[in-house]
Structure 1
């Protein structure tokens, strides 16, 4: 809404602003007040609230809620969470690109900044002795598919422990244009470890015709309703893709959902039919699918001690199943429109695991991309992504799972409320992988409870949002804001361009919307502030100070 300047003598807006300005002890409002004064877009009802707040000396918490800023809470780690509930949740809002002579920074930091917006004039020289970020527009690579998270049983079940109003705030903060605009979501096909029980959609032994196939209560009452509500508020269409953890136990060689076991070869066709039935059932409920992965972490199914749902596939068996069964079955059902991704495991499987499939034209014709998880990133160099892309340039790479808390000493360490260290690790890996051809990043559980569950295998984990159903509130972790620095600004269809940093503690990744709009995400891992100069060869420089332990998204026009 745009409110015109009041006529002479009606100066209640200015009076409210002046009263509010005199209030001390409130940080982070300078830009807001300046904006209000400059364009007078203050609705009358807001002006009255501002006036009352200033007059009554409202608390910092109350004023944050009024303007939807972070309500911080400390839980003993190196940063804070932002608390949301039925009546309040901070969101960055809809941010327009600045005028051509300026650039905008959106910054989050260990010290508590959360999507802080600053607009600065461009300059004609770089800051002396600064960290220089070089952007090379002539070296373009992949286009982005998107960013998002997984709608697991655990996420959906935990969400529904909140009141309806708090649920709405959760959905808006993830999916709306006012929030961080998730557009790419993974959906487990039946149960995973992040469920309350192991199950499939047809646990009637020997039902090879799948007469008893049916979605579970988890889908009907929780996951699908969440998806439909997300679709209503989403700023862009949501791309859903399904991933199986395990076939029905009776289809496997070990007769179990977990541990070491493969799909019985006589079950290859029933299992392909199961995929079709899953897609049909979800789409009949209004949840249109965009893609599928063939198997979550297929090599885990050869581990006798693997505690949760899995199924073992050699690369050769996967190749043969795709070309003789799954691919033709999807095509016959009119589902070749779906994106089909293989691997769905860590970097250490590249490129050797996907080579037999992608080198076989009869299998490769049904495959669109390689799905990758992040769990071996610290041990396996990102060059394997480059190698895979060079071998199969017509197949994309997409990161489809990541989470923190999976490699801790005990379950009490799984959730670390307010950990910037974990957020920084995420940011570093996302930047690294985007600089090595990945076309997006899909987080694991969108939400978990305060223990990091529910999880039937006791594989407790961390999440960008932790839900406390008893208190009817949820906590947006630093992880959430790191994801938002990408998902909100690096939108589907933008193109990666080359960039580099002169400082080993500062990392960057750059994108173009067109020749006129540029997005750069920059991470400072150092303990000290870094003066930064962005040089894209245009003759203008973007000079600014990047706080210690901070991430910023830079937006500007040529």
Structure 2
């Protein structure tokens, strides 16, 4: 009798412990992309782990509000989509914009031509046309506008578009050239009118523009492709005295104006000028940045400085890509290997060479996005969505890599690991999410997390090491344990109210 009572008591204790353990478990969904071949695969088996790395989430510690993630509509990408069969065209559009796909929420496009156009062109081709009576977006109607409209049709949630000029028409500039030079002061008002007319022209096509960057790469690009130079003061003066007032006068004061739009190492001098006083700050909605200053350095001090200078303004990564490389076709391993080089490998000055070593394309995307999110950046936008096997088409032959590569002659599509890397963020961290605090006990793991408007929390973990790692994820006294593969990125989704 005593033995039976002891047995029943032991069984009751075990059941109670089991119930308590069950109550303390987090329910999660885990998705993984890895060098071993997973492509946003849902992980359903959770083997027992030992001595897990502790990652604690702090949802009460909130940082920036997310604007979105996405890529750019370029003439090159749109032209290639037109050369594909209808099935593959739809496959790519849906992959980027549908809810079942990457669900892009923030996008960019170019005003006038850029390096990823088929040729130089301007919406204001008539010299001396100060009132822009001959303004026309006809050049965009064959390729660019149909691509944007198809994306709008595929997107259930919708997405924001901001537009960037690479240059004004040569006749407005002091060097009368597509490349380099500055906007002549007598055309400042004409150039401000250009932005207003662009919004109206796209509106007439059924496309709403959310905002602008004032100028792509105002410091120039080495006199290679379309460009127009501004100093910080020149750009700020243009916005404060011309562009801002013109948009306001035309009833377009809600359009977002983003200043700068180049590499992060010069951020401090730009934000100091842009937000120099209330009059200038009134018109700048935020700052746009690029990543080309380094293959691995995020420049956290500069990002934090920019945020602190204007804490209620946007800080958006507006362009990034694997540049100066011809795409590797249907070889996922290459995208996980340290074989890629950037422009700086060949052309950076000796003092900056250390910022441009060989790197893994997946590592660069994952490291940079996580690093940006952990340093107050609220939006992250890739460059071309689609390129061909040469890394074009591109009138300057400035070859680059996109997350999706196509062979239009064979009507074939290759979704590179970069596409799935982008999806780990764009699909699971939605607009108006709040970046939250994370305590991570392993310096070799990169981790970020955000709480979405629907209440769920998305955690992104990047393991760039060659070793499998055990993870213990903690939230509100509950936990879950799982494994992340070597050279892998995971998104862990934690449903609301846990």
- TM-score range (shorter-chain normalised) is 0.7 to 0.9
State yes or no: 1:195 paired with 2:82. no
1:271-330 residue CA offsets vs partner (Å, 9 max, x unmatched):
001111111111110011111110001011xx6x42100100011111111111100101
Residue 388 (structure 2) pairs with residue 446 (structure 1): no
Which of residues 465, 469, 474 in structure 1 aligns to 2:413?
A: 474
Alpha-carbon distance between aligned partners in 2 of 1:417 and 1:329, rounded to the nearest angstrom: 50
Post-superposition CA distance 1:512-539 (Å, at most 9, x none): 1269521100000011111111123x22
Structure 2 partner of 1:158: 80
Q: CA deviation at 1:119?
A: 4.1
3-state DSSP of counterpart to 2:134: coil
SS in 2 for 1:269: helix
Say whether residues 1:143 and 2:61 are aligned partners: no
Structure 2 unaligned blocks of 5 or more: 1-23, 337-359
Other structure's SS at 2:193 match: helix
1:103, 1:119 within 8 Å by CA — same for their partners in 2? Answer: no
What is the aligned partner in structure 2 of residue 339 from structure 1? 256
User: 1:18 maps to what in 2?
Assistant: none
Whether 1:294 and 2:214 are equivalent positions in the alignment is yes
Provide the C-alpha distance between the structure 1 equivalents of 2:82 and 2:275, rounded to a whole number of angstroms: 41
Rounded to whole Å, the distance in 2 between the matches of 1:476 and 1:317 is 42
Relative to structure 1, the CA distance from residue 514 to residue 290 in structure 2 (aligned partners, 3 Å threshold; closer, same or farther) is closer
Is 1:312 aligned to residue 226 of structure 2? no
SS of equivalent to 2:305: helix
User: Matches of 2:196 and 2:449 in 1, distance apart?
Assistant: 39
Instruction: Map residues 217-366 of structure 1 onto 2, 5 A cutoff.
Output: 217=139, 219-258=140-179, 260-300=180-220, 305-366=222-283
Aligned-partner Cα distance in 2 for 1:325–1:481: 42
Partners of 2:383 and 2:114 in 1: how far apart? 12
Contact 1:415 1:462 in 2 (8 A): no
Tell me by how many angstroms 1:212 deviates: 1.5
Is it true that 1:383 corresponds to 2:301 in the alignment?
yes
- The residue aligned with 2:3 is none
> Aligned-pair distance for 1:118?
2.4
The question of whether the paired residues in 2 share the 8 Å contact of 1:414 and 1:460 is answered with no
Distance 1:413 1:174 in 2: 19
Q: Could you tell me how far apart the structure 2 residues matched to 1:516 and 1:177 are? A: 18
The answer to whether residue 490 in structure 2 is matched with residue 548 in structure 1 is no
**TM-score normalized by the length of structure 1:** 0.77
* Cα pair distance change 1:424/1:380, threshold 3 Å: closer
Does 1:404 find its partner at 2:322? yes
Q: Is the 8 A contact 2:82 2:89 kept in 1?
A: yes
| Cα gap change, 1:141 to 1:510, in 2 (>3 Å) | same
Pair 1:483-2:422 in alignment: yes
Q: CA RMSD in A?
A: 2.0
Contact 1:416–1:462 (8 Å) recurs in 2: no
Compute the displacement of 1:545 (Å).
0.7
Using the alignment, how far apart are the partners of 1:390 and 1:298 within structure 2?
A: 23
Instruction: Give the deviation of 1:413 after TM superposition.
Output: 6.4
Answer yes or no: is the 8 Å Cα contact 1:146–1:492 preserved in 2: yes
- 2:363 aligns with 424
Q: Deviations over 1:351-406 (max 9, x none)?
A: 21121121222121111111111112435621211111112112121111000033
Structure 1 residue 492: Cα displacement: 0.7
